[in-house]
Amino acid sequence: MDLTRTEVARAAAARRGSAARLGLMVVPVAFFAVFFAYPVAAIVARGLHVGGVWRLGRVGDVLAQPDIRHVLWFTTWQALASTALTLLVALPGAYVFARLDFPGKQVLRAVVTVPFVLPTVVVGTAFLALVGRGGLLDELWGVRLDTTVWAILLAHVFFNYAVVVRTVGGLWAQLDPRQEEAARMLGASRAAAWRRVTLPALGPAVAAAALMVFLFTFTSFGVVQILGGPTFSTLEVEIYRQTSEIFDLSTAAVLTLIQFAAVGAVLALHAWTVRRRETALRLVDASLTARRPRGAGQWALLGGVLVSVAALLVLPLAVLVRRSLDAPDFGYYRALTSDDGGLFLVAPIEAIGNSLEYAAVATAIAVLVGALAAVALTRRDAGRLVRGFDALLMLPLGVSAVTVGFGFLIALDEPPLDLRSSWILVPLAQALVGVPFVVRTMLPVLRAVDGRLREAAAVLGASPWRVWREVDLPMVRRALLIAAGFAFAVSLGEFGATVFIARPDNPTLPVAVARLLGRAGELNYGQAMALSTILMVVCAVALLVLERLRTDRTGEF
């Protein structure tokens, strides 16, 4: 009789949990339907529906063009190469940040994340100054890489290093090291224990990081536009060219559909492969797993990571700082406080406050929507509808930001969604990019929590909300703070969509930098470098504060 009552209680708890998770999907589904699917569909329809006739035949016509096929091939090839190179360089860094404790670790973690929030146009300009004609490498050794694909690949590693370190390292730091130690006690070598125990556990996080890096490099715009020149072009660059230079909205719509289909296929493959490898993991307090380096091997690894960080991440940032100080008496910085009456309606320095306000609101939206979506997607036995939504959440990272920006202007211009003159439009666009990071950061940790803990709490009468508060939240708090940091960082540096919807009297830092870079003159270029340096410092301070909060408040699990 007792067994029957337990089974009935367990079944009732499972039904309540499933209903609660489906209810949690309402907000994310509505958010993406209104602020992503609707604007993108509107701009694509505007391009393919001409004169009252659907021109679907344009898809075949565009694909038949040799230059378009070359762009598609290069976009795919460089994204795969960039992803592989980023994983190769950044995975040792993820281990160092997760397992080793050393002086200056929090500062270095913030330094590693700073490149990710810089506008892509600034990253491209920094690498051009580093590896191009008259750059640092050209001055020292006569080496130029701006005419090769290596400049693009290295810039992508610079930009995405933090994605791998934080996504993989966040889970790695919480894996119980005793599992690997047990394998070694049974006779496995250090390499074999890592390959058979740790690597499978890290599989979902590595796949999530690889997916995000691939999507960012597949849709790369600013980096390729500056470093690629007339030789290399991605789909994103071609969409921008067709939209703003040739004014061929029909071809741009077709390219958007091609990009959308390619990204959808990648997301479907990711969802299928990762789900087969996810298992419940034993998670522990991250502060208990990091130790001082022991042995020559760990010290050598730490030294190698520090050298790679200095060469790939710090050096380009140093170039930005040096260029911003070329004028005597901080002339470029002082020029930011004045309004020239032409390029800006306000002093460029006001972009700092605008960016911080927009990023704070965008982070709140992204954390709310992303956390609800992650909790709803926690069950591995969810239906096809829920699994499909898991993949759809990543689409904003793979759809042209140009398309999203124009879509906002076209779709959200009449009641009840007339938001063109509203300040909330910018945070909404930034949150679209932040939500996937929140979901991908939280989901591996949530799915690693032993489901029997939730079942036991539910059987004892706890509501779904209390189960989440008492079981999931203590385990996922660290991931939630990391996700918030990612969302804030992404919002600070978002450029693609914001450049089309930011009001002239309220520019963000990336928009202000892009406007200055697009204007001839040494003063404008210097001001762009000065604003980029300010953005770098603001981001570093924000990330250091986040690191302090994470360290102080996540020691309970």
By the 8 A CB rule, do 431 and 491 touch?
yes
Q: Are 79 and 442 in contact (CB under 8 A)?
A: no
What residues contact 94, with CB distance under 8 A and at least 6 apart?
Answer: 164, 165, 168, 169, 172
Give me the chain's average pLDDT, please.
Answer: 77
Average pLDDT of the residues in 14-31: 68
Least confident of 198-212, 221-235, 337-351, 538-552: 538-552
Contact of 111 with 308, CB cutoff 8 Å: no
How far apart CA 46 and CA 67 sit, in angstroms, is 24
Summarised one tens digit per residue, pLDDT across range 145-191 is: 766 788 889 999 998 998 888 888 877 777 766 776 676 777 667 67
Selection from 164, 522, 117 nearest residue 356 by Cα: 117
The CA distance from 79 to 214, in Å, is 5
Per residue in 539-550, pLDDT (tens digit) is 777 766 666 655
Tell me the DSSP string of 148-212.
STHHHHHHHHHHHHHHHHHHHHHHHTTB-HHHHHHHHHTT--HHHHIIIIIHHHHHHHHHHHHHH
* CA–CA gap between residue 327 and residue 85 (Å, rounded): 37
| pLDDT tens digit sequence for 120-154 | 777 877 787 787 766 677 777 776 776 678 888 99
Determine the Cα–Cα distance for residues 387 and 375; give it in Å rounded to an integer.
13
C-alpha distances in angstroms, 141 versus 137, 147, 315, 322, 385? 6, 16, 16, 19, 57
Rounded-to-integer distance, Cα 57 and Cα 336, Å: 50
The residue with greater pLDDT, 58 or 77, is: 77
Q: According to the model, what pLDDT value does residue 13 have?
A: 47
Q: Which helix (H) or strand (E) holds 69?
A: helix 66-99
HEC profile of 314-336: HHHHHHHHHHHCCCHHHHHHHHC
14-18, 307-311, 366-370: least confidently modelled range: 14-18
Comparison of pLDDT for 299 and 277, the residue scoring more: 299
Q: Tell which residue, 109, 164, 96, has the closest CA to residue 544.
A: 109
Task: Select from 135, 94, 154 the least CA-distant residue to 313.
Answer: 154
Q: Which of 495, 11, 535 minimizes the C-alpha distance to 236?
A: 495
Q: DSSP character for 58?
A: H
Specify the range with the lowest mean pLDDT, choosing from 46-60, 334-348, 511-525, 526-540: 46-60
Task: Give per-residue pLDDT as tens, 365-387.
Answer: 999 998 888 888 876 555 566 66
- Contacts by residues 68-73 (CB-CB < 8 Å, ≥ 24 positions apart): 68/238, 68/255, 71/233, 71/234, 71/235, 71/237, 71/238, 72/235, 72/258
Number of Cβ atoms within 10 Å of the Cβ of 65: 11
Check: CB of residue 362 under 8 Å from CB of residue 427: yes
Instruction: Determine which helix (DSSP H) or strand (DSSP E) holds 358, and give its type and residue range.
Output: helix 351-376
State mean pLDDT over 293-298: 79
pLDDT digit string, tens, across residues 76-95: 999 999 999 999 999 998 88
Which residue type is seen at 287?
A: S
- What CA–CA distance (Å, rounded) separates 479 from 473? 10
- In 10 A of CB 58, how many CB atoms? 18
pLDDT value of residue 555: 36
> 17 and 451 in contact (C-beta within 8 Å)?
no
Distance linking the first and last C-alpha atoms of the chain: 36
Q: What's the rounded Cα separation, in Å, for the pair 335 and 324? A: 11
Which has the closest alpha carbon to 33: 411, 367, 406?
411
> And the tokens for 293?
């380096």
What residue type is assigned to position 269 of the chain? L
Helix, strand, coil share of the chain (percent; to 5): 75, 0, 20
Q: Are strands 49-50 and 53-54 parallel, antiparallel or unpaired?
A: antiparallel
- The angle subtended at Cα 395 by Cα 70 and Cα 430, nearest 5°, is 110
pLDDT of residue 54 exceeding 70: no
What are the pLDDT digits (tens) for 405-415?
878 877 887 77
What local confidence, expressed as pLDDT, does residue 366 receive?
93
Of 11-15, 521-525, 532-536, where does mean pLDDT reach its minimum? 11-15
At 427 the pLDDT is 92
Segment 305-321 shows an average pLDDT of 87
Query: 405 burial class (0-12, 13-18, 19+ CB within 10 angstroms)?
Result: buried
CA distance linking residue 483 with residue 490, whole number of Å:
10
In this predicted model, what pLDDT tens digit does every residue of 423-480 receive, in sequence order? Answer: 888 999 899 888 988 887 787 777 776 666 666 666 666 666 666 666 666 667 777 8
Amino acid at 43: I
| pLDDT tens digits along 241-293 | 777 777 777 788 888 888 878 877 777 776 666 555 555 455 555 555 667 77
| Helical ranges in 248-325 per DSSP H | 249-277, 295-309, 315-324
Residue 416 confidence (pLDDT)? 73
Pull the structure tokens for residue 474: 């203590």
Closest CA to 485 of 93, 123, 106: 106
CA distance 139 to 228: 21
* Mean pLDDT value across residues 232-247: 80
